[in-house]
């Protein structure tokens, strides 16, 4: 049996100015040396396992607590991860949407580490680099990349389409900045609630959908109604709720998921149905015509027999 292809890399370049980086210094200032130790363990885990990203949930806090040791509790590790996301060491949008830890720098270093491979597989939704920028993705490496999607009916995309998506993603970062402020406020309220303080009513999330998977605050729901209309928003909630039920999809922020890909998926589905419907109507019309011709032939045959 052939050995499975390795996604991760054996080593990664470590910048000598790492500890002077402002973001890293802020993590040390907030969490002490243990914060730096946790950060380094996470980075090593990213490069060793998937190479350019790491899926993260509450269980990983416990697992990494056991790996790191040195008195680093699961609670501390969870706080360090949130701090790294807040400081920009990991991309906040991808983390909130998919519970994935990654960054542009990590992805650049990963590409340099696998440039000798014959093929490189990348998950499209996690990708942050601009494929049209040769400093980000050299042409020789770009030709080896195959993109696959984590979202429904998005696999098999080509590089041209992905480059467009990446540009759209980059442009949307400006729009996301306002939403990031809102998410930061929500996380602060949740942290206060975990500490025994009552969270503000505006930050309380309610469950929506038949399977009650979709979590939205009242302001988020009202803003979706205002931006997209009540009917379209309810369709999007139903779509996401059923997708979570079928696929086990995880997202830190359902409001952002709805805005970033659910409405787009619904629109693609609508356009696909519009393309299919005329073909179905044409096929039905052809079948009816064939039936009519067959009946006419039988009638003519019967008339000819009667005359004989």
Pairing of strands 100-101, 54-55: antiparallel
Q: Band the pLDDT of 237: cuts 50, 70, 90.
A: very high
The pLDDT value given to residue 152: 57
Domain boundary residue, one of 115, 150, 170 = 170
Residue 182 lies in a domain: no
Residues 162 and 231 in one domain: no
Is 181 inside any structural domain?
A: no
Note whether 66 and 119 are same-domain residues.
Answer: yes
**Inside any domain, residue 248:** yes
Residues 71, 164 share a domain? yes
Task: Name the band, by pLDDT with cuts 50, 70 and 90, for residue 162.
Answer: very low
pLDDT 10s digits, 295-307: 777 777 777 776 5
Q: Report phi then psi at 118, rounded to 5.
A: -70, -35
**Pick the residue with more confidence: 83 or 247?**
83
27 and 135, same domain (yes or no): yes
Same domain, 216 and 153: no
Q: What is the pLDDT of residue 254?
A: 92
DSSP structural state of residue 258: I
Cα 38 from chain centre? 24
- Whether pTM exceeds 0.85: no
Whole-number Å distance between alpha carbons of 193 and 201: 11
Residues 93 and 226 in one domain: no
Residue-wise DSSP of 268-297: HHHHHHHHHHHHHHHHHHHHHHHHHHHHHH
**Could you say which of 149, 170, 191 is where a domain stops?**
170
**What domain range includes position 34?**
18-170
Residues 257, 118 within the same domain: no
Are 25 and 75 found together in one domain? yes
Flag whether 70 is in a domain.
yes
Which has more pLDDT, 186 or 159? 186
**Whether residue 194 has pLDDT greater than 60:** no
Lowest mean pLDDT among 37-41, 141-145, 176-180, 255-259: 176-180
Within a domain: residue 194? no
Task: With respect to residue 1, please indicate whether it lies within any of the assigned structural domains.
Answer: no
Closest CA to 31 of 114, 109, 111, 89: 89
Rounded mean pLDDT of 42-55?
Answer: 91
**Number of DSSP helices (H) and strands (E) in the chain, helices first:** 12, 6
Verify that 214 and 106 share a domain, yes or no: no
Same domain assignment for residues 209 and 128: no
Residues 93, 228: one domain? Answer: no
User: How many domains would you assign to the chain?
Assistant: 2
Residue 156 pLDDT grade (very low, low, confident, very high; cuts 50, 70, 90): very low
- Lookup: tokens for 159: 């590089």
Mean pLDDT of 216-244: 90
**Both 213 and 108 in a single domain?**
no
196 — alpha (psi -120 to 50), left (phi > 0) or beta? left
**Can you tell me the distance from the alpha carbon of 110 to that of 72, in angstroms, rounded to the nearest whole number?**
28
Does 191 have pLDDT greater than 80?
no
């Amino acid at each position: 049996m052939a050995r499975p292809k390795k996604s991760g890399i054996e080593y990664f370049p470590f910048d000598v100015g790492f500890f002077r980086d402002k973001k890293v210094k802020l993590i040390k200032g907030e969490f002490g040396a243990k914060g730096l130790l946790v950060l380094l363990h996470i980075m090593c885990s990213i490069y060793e396992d998937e190479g350019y990203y790491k899926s993260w949930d509450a269980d990983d806090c416990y697992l990494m607590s056991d790996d790191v040791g040195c008195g680093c509790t699961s609670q501390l590790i969870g706080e360090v991860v949130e701090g790294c996301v807040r400081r920009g060491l990991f991309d906040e949008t991808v983390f909130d949407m998919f519970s994935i830890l990654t960054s542009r720098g990590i992805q650049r270093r990963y590409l340099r580490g696998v440039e000798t491979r014959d093929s490189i597989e990348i998950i499209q939704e996690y990708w942050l680099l601009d494929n049209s920028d040769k400093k980000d993705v050299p042409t020789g490496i770009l030709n080896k990349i195959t993109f696959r999607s984590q979202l429904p009916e998005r696999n098999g995309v080509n590089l041209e389409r992905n480059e467009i998506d990446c540009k759209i993603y980059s442009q949307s970062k400006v729009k996301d900045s306002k939403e990031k402020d809102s998410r930061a406020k929500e996380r602060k309220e949740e942290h206060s609630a975990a500490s025994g303080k009552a969270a503000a009513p505006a930050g309380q999330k309610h469950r929506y959908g038949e399977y009650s998977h979709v979590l939205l605050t009242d302001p988020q729901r009202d803003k979706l109604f205002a931006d997209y209309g009540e009917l379209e928003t309810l369709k999007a909630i139903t779509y996401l709720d059923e997708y979570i039920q079928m696929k086990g999809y995880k997202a830190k922020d359902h409001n952002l998921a709805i805005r970033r890909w659910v409405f787009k998926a619904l629109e693609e589905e609508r356009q696909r149905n519009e393309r299919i419907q005329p073909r179905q109507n044409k096929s039905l019309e052809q079948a009816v015509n064939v039936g009519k011709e067959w009946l006419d032939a039988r009638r003519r045959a019967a008339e000819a027999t009667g005359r004989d």
